[in-house]
Amino acid sequence: MKLESEKKLEEFKEYMRKLEYLNSAIGVIYWDMRVGIPKKATAQRGEVIGYLSGEAYRLQTSDEMKEYIDYFSTIEGLDDVTKSMVLNAKKDYDQTKKIPEHRYKEYVILKSNSEVAWEEAKEKSDFNIFKPYLEKVVDFSREFIEYWGYENNKYDTLLDFYEPGITVEKLDVVFGELRDAIVELLGKIKESGVCIKDDFFKKDFSKESQEEFSLYVLNKMGYDFDAGRLDESVHPFTINFGNKDVRITTKYIPNEFRSALFSCIHEGGHALYEQDIPDELQGTGLAAGASMGIHESQSRFYENIIGRSKAFWTYFYPEAKNRFPQFKDVDFDEFYKGMNAVEPSLIRTEADELTYSLHVIIRYEIEKALINGEIEVKDLPQIWNKKYKEYLGVEPQNDAEGVLQDMHWSDGSFGYFPSYALGNLYGAQFLHKMEQDIPNMYDDIKQGNLDGVHQWLKDNIHKYGAVYKPAELLKMVTKEELSAKYFIDYLNKKYYEIYNLK
Ligand code: CO
């Protein structure tokens, strides 16, 4: 009997590997389309992606797949990896199979039209162009939730795709605490009247010099260039095809020193995670991050907790000064504070470390109400602007800098946004444990030695890939549940010092 199941497991793994090969091929084409494709080739290449995606869909939803899932669901005593592999495959299978095929096809077509409408609406700053499409996308989401099923809150079903196990009940608590704490801290910063200068970052920095410095920092982080590469694209991203090819991109802005650098550090954090996932997990469907939130915790950990810290710049500031005459008259204190200036703004992707989570929480509150039918699409611009005024004290003057700024809703990615702020919470919880485990952590960082940090993340998080759910992983590492406390403490400590608050 044991032999039979072992043989079957080998077959199942081989089947899963085929799926991963297809996804790798799709990924390489996707990367090429965003990094180097000749303009005229886009449509043809789109057809290739369409064909391969159809094949991947077929493998994912086949009768053969169902047989494997059914077979292994009845077997007792599976190891953690096999158990997760089966659960993962089942989740993907159910997600598509529970929806009537004709509705799914209609939805796919709607999504691509909706994305086009969103682009036009954003360009013309007119929500009404996007509104009828978004209404349909929301209707589909609500309909699909009925097929997928839900327990307490309809929005939970969507959250679960990105952050397995997370619920509105939990998020309401941690996001509520975080929102109130940030709004309070922001109020104190405004009251303090302290104004931090950061104009020296907005001088002219050549693309070449920015690229060299980014490469230098990525090397120091431990990013393996023999298993990756850095390129340019319109929006920075990380993509991987297994653990031996993890690519990142960035965008160089000539008069903004921080933009490309921090996006490289951010994507580098994502990339280290993928490069560290062990060979044994390749081809199982588990060679990925534990969740979107855990993935974001790694990128934000490097970008903010490490990359905007005093310890980090103790080492890198003299190097930056050597390379960039623009910083000739900027002392360390100005440099460090300029890196951490707080400025409530309208655009999420340009937000500073403190206010960023508020942008996310606004989207969470809106999505939750929208999916549950408490508000409707037509009300979005008004609700959006009201929340920005209330939490951040700024008000969009038009839809483009308000409700239309992100593309996530155009393709129905409801439930994705919370990952960004969850990443901040997880990151601070991991930091708390890391500080206990590595007492000389900050001394090492001051010497430019980031290996201890990397090794800790590898041993405690990266090596497990997607074997454990985020809450299980968090518990394993920190012995605690999700909490907003550590991130709030971290923010207070950091900004009290920077803004001389009492
Ligand atoms: Co990210």
Collapsed DSSP state (helix, strand, coil) of residue 231 = strand
- Torsion of Cα atoms, 144 then 149 then 155 then 159, to 10°: -90
Strand partners, 248: 230, 238
- Report how far residue 108's alpha carbon sits from residue 497's, in angstroms, rounded to the nearest whole number: 50
* Dihedral sign computed on CA atoms, order 161, 162, 164, 165: negative
Q: For residue 39, give the DSSP letter.
A: G
Residue located via tokens 């009492």 = 502
Respond yes or no: is residue 208 known to be catalytic: no
Write out pLDDT tens, residues 259-296: 999 999 999 999 999 999 999 999 888 999 999 999 99
pLDDT of residue 283: 87
Question: Residue 11 is which amino acid?
Answer: E
pTM (two decimals): 0.94
Ligand 1 centroid to 361 CA: how many Å?
Answer: 16
Whether the predicted pLDDT of 345 surpasses 80: yes
Three-class SS of 61-119: CCHHHHHHHHHHHCCCCCCHHHHHHHHHHHHHHHHHHCCCHHHHHHHHHHHHHHHHHHH
pLDDT at 1: 53
Which residue type does 82 have?
T
What's the rounded Cα separation, in Å, for the pair 95 and 102? 15
What CATH architecture does domain 168-498 belong to? Orthogonal Bundle (1.10)
Whole-number Å distance, alpha carbon 288 to ligand 1 midpoint, is 14
Select which of 267, 296, 353, 367 is catalytic. 267
Q: Domain coordinates of the chain in residue numbers?
A: 4-149, 168-498
96: CA distance to ligand 1 center in Å? 26
Ligand 1 centroid – CA 420 distance (Å)? 7
> Is 251:236 a contact under the CB 8 Å cutoff?
yes
What is the pLDDT confidence band of residue 47, given thresholds at 50, 70 and 90?
confident
pLDDT in tens, 148-204: 999 999 999 999 999 999 999 999 999 999 999 999 999 999 999 999 999 999 999
Q: What is the dihedral of CA 344, 210, 35, 107, to 10 degrees?
A: -10
Per-residue pLDDT tens over the stretch 306-338 = 999 999 999 999 999 999 999 999 999 999 999
Q: Average pLDDT over the chain, rounded to whole?
A: 95
How far is ligand 1, taken at its centre, from the CA of residue 76, in Å?
37
Report whether 461 contacts 332 (CB < 8 A). no
* 408-419 pLDDT tens trace: 999 999 999 999
Q: Binning pLDDT at 50, 70 and 90, where does residue 234 land?
A: confident
CA of 275: how far to CAs of 222, 239, 415, 457, 464, in Å?
10, 11, 27, 12, 12
Which DSSP state fits 386? H
- State mean pLDDT over 435-439: 98
For the cut 90, the answer to whether the pLDDT of residue 108 exceeds it is: no
